[in-house]
Amino acid sequence: MHVTTVIIGAGHAGLAMSRQLSSRSIDHVVLERGEVANSWRTERWDSLRLLTPTWHVTLPGADAVAGADPDGFLTVPELVAHLDRYAAAVDAPVHTGTTVTRVAATEAGYEVTTDRGTWTCASVVLAGGANNVAALPAAAHGVPDDVVSISTARYRSPADVPEGGVLVVGASASGVQLADELARSGRRVTIATGEHVRMPRTYRGRDAFWWMERAGVLDERYDEVDDIIRARHTPSPQLVGSPGHADIDLGTLQARGVEVVGKLGRLRDGVAQFSGGLANTVRLADLKLIRLLDRYDTWAHEQGHDGLGEPHRPDPTVVGASPRIEIDLHREGIRTVLWATGYRPDHSWLALPVLDHKGRLRHDGGVVTGAPGVYVLGTSLLRRRRSTYIGGADQDTAELAAHLADHLAGRSTPPSSVVGEPVSPR
């Protein structure tokens, strides 16, 4: 089978690229190992809502999310239904239940091998297909056999973990949300806290994403960042998409009875050992938060928005003077370790010279290095900070589709920064 472009992955990024290619009359297929929005269907917990408000969930050529409050936060079933409707609306040529096992170069382009046949093509777009593997630290190997070790990809609700204490490892968005959920269920929870990004849900009467959109934070480009590798691994902000627009951070967790300790170092003989630098970690997060709010205030003053609410600053994070640096899981009755440590891509099926010495995909703003005509989508800070969120797919796919079209036409130019219609913050 032959087609001009193969898109691997039918999540929001793959579907958005399909729409962009269709608008350019570039024939293509979208190969998906499961169903449309498969990761959302199979690897998310039951209570999860998006941390971005619905007005920010935009895709190229898509209508607003049907029946949803623009200022609310979609549940996973609502998002899946929206992506199903979008796939149908853009008539995306999706082949579900098709797992890609190998991508290799040929004289004419690329060969994409799947468990349902082989495709040849001139270009390939990696849009998240088969790239959701829980990123577990080395300490995960030290969990005792009689303690449940579970990642966020497998967790669905408190009913999935046995009675007893829970150690949540990671204090980014997922970690704090699940620590809060487990504590609400009556569990005794400890959260191991490394680097994190503290962010209030609302500031001066406006949502966090209203500020990031208006103040230009989301438009900062990847090639303007000093350390792009570090920036792409910055933890997701401590936000929760609750109907009440509530804040969530280490302070709210401690008020619910959650014990906060430092970053997990190792787990040996059933004893978890943590960094003693918790106070410095939270102090740095608070400092970065104040700098961000200062930036917002400066923008608001310069733009004549002084009529917004008062610039109240969140209280500093307070942690115990001597947080524990060692916990015996058995002695403390901890029956579960929940790893909220994110995901890593699995590119083992790429038979192409495109990985660095650490196995990371080398690319320049989504244009894969070492394989002309290969692109990647759906990663953090791909082309700008908004790339991290669903709403970033519109501009990303517009720019990379233009580059792909130039590649097919025999032109070789860097992808331009197409500025489409801006998202309209409410």
What residues have CB less than 8 Å from 110, skipping those under 6 apart? 6, 103, 104, 120, 121, 122, 123, 124, 371, 373, 374
CA distance 272 to 149: 13
Sign of CA dihedral 301, 306, 309, 315: positive
**Does residue 251 share a domain with residue 372?**
no
Query: How far lies 156's CA from each of 87, 161, 251, in Å?
Result: 26, 9, 25
Residue 426 forms part of a structural domain:
no
Question: Given this model, what pLDDT does residue 130 score?
Answer: 47
Which domain CATH number covers 100?
Answer: 3.50.50.60
- What pLDDT is attached to residue 419? 45
* Predicted TM-score of the model (pTM): 0.93
In this predicted structure, the answer to whether residue 181 has a pLDDT above a threshold of 60 is: yes
* Per-residue pLDDT at 346: 86
Residue 412: the pLDDT is 64
User: What average pLDDT does the chain have?
Assistant: 93
Q: Same structural domain for residues 56 and 166?
A: no
Does the structure show a pLDDT above 70 at 424?
A: no
Residue that is last in its domain, among 313, 339, 365: 339
Q: What pLDDT, on a 0 to 100 scale, did the predictor assign at position 66?
A: 85
Distance CA 414, CA 108 (A): 22
Contact yes or no for 298/253 (Cβ under 8 A) = no
Maximum distance among all alpha carbons in the chain? 66
Q: What confidence score (pLDDT) does residue 344 get?
A: 84
Token couple for 298: 């400066």
Residue 48 has pLDDT above 70, yes or no: yes
> Does 213 reside within a domain?
yes
Residue at a domain's end among 319, 339, 359: 339
Q: Can you say whether the dihedral through the CA atoms of 248, 249, 254, 257 is positive or negative? A: positive
Same domain as 165, residue 31: no
Regarding whether 215 and 81 lie in a shared domain, the answer is: no
Q: Residues 391, 303: one domain? A: no
Are 19 and 141 found together in one domain? Answer: no
Helix (H, G, I), strand (E, B) or coil at 110: strand
Tens-place pLDDT, residues 262-284: 999 999 999 999 999 999 999 99
Whether residue 376 is found in the same domain as residue 281:
no
Query: Is residue 351 domain-shared with residue 286, that is, in the same domain?
Result: no
422 belongs to a structural domain = no
Q: Has residue 198 been placed in a domain?
A: yes
Does 244 lie in the same domain as 210? yes
Q: What is the pLDDT of residues 106-154, one digit of tens each?
A: 999 999 999 999 999 999 999 985 456 888 999 999 999 999 999 999 9
Distance (Å, whole) CA 13 – CA 378: 6
The CA-based angle 8-125-133, given to 5 degrees, is 50
Q: How many helices (H) and strands (E) does the chain have?
A: 9, 25
80 located within any domain: yes
Assess if residue 415 is contained within a domain: no
Same domain, 330 and 272: yes
Q: Give how many domains the chain has, as a whole number.
A: 2
Give the residue numbers spanning the domain of 108: 5-131+345-408
227 domain residue, yes or no:
yes
What is the DSSP code string of 204-261? TTEEHHHHHHHTTGGG-BGGG-S-HHHHHTPPPEE----TT----SHHHHHHTT-EEE
Q: Residue type at 279? A: A
Question: What's the average model confidence in pLDDT over 172-194?
Answer: 97
Q: Give the domain-ending residue among 339, 355, 372.
A: 339
- What pLDDT does residue 422 have? 47
CA–CA gap between residue 233 and residue 321 (Å, rounded): 29
- Assess contact for 193 and 282: CB atoms under 8 A: yes
Q: Are residues 152 and 221 in the same domain?
A: yes
- Calculate mean pLDDT across residues 250-254: 97
Q: In this predicted model, what pLDDT tens digit does every residue of 341-379 receive, in sequence order?
A: 988 888 889 999 999 988 889 999 999 999 999 999 999
Query: What is the reported pLDDT for 426?
Result: 56
The pLDDT tens digits of the residues spanning 284-316 come to: 999 999 999 999 999 999 999 988 999 999 999
| The pLDDT of residue 392 is above 70 | yes
Q: Establish if 417 belongs to a structural domain.
A: no
Average pLDDT over every residue of 89-93: 97
- Residues 356, 367: one domain? yes
